[in-house]
Amino acid sequence: MKDPVCGEEVNNTTYKYTYKSVTYYFCSPMCMAEFKKNPDKYVKNIKEK
């Protein structure tokens, strides 16, 4: 799966966050914190791809 914030491939499930019934995985706590600040921004980015 890909980190929705930085776009890096994520090979662990340590940092995850569920938003609107979808679970997202992150490469680091920083990316997860960034996502939580503005989830809609990053969810939109994923849908555009």
The whole-angstrom separation of Cα 39 and Cα 34 is 8
The whole-angstrom separation of Cα 10 and Cα 47 is 18
Classify 12 as helix, strand or coil.
Answer: coil
Phi, psi torsion values for 18, nearest 5 degrees? -100, 125
Q: Report in angstroms how near the CB of residue 24 gets to Zn ion at its nearest.
A: 10
Q: Report in angstroms how near the CB of residue 3 gets to Zn ion at its nearest.
A: 4
Site string for Zn ion, 8-27 (x = CB under 5 A): x------------------x
Residue 31 near Zn ion by CB under 5 A: yes
Can you give the binding site for Zn ion, defined by CB under 5 A? 3, 5-6, 8, 27, 31
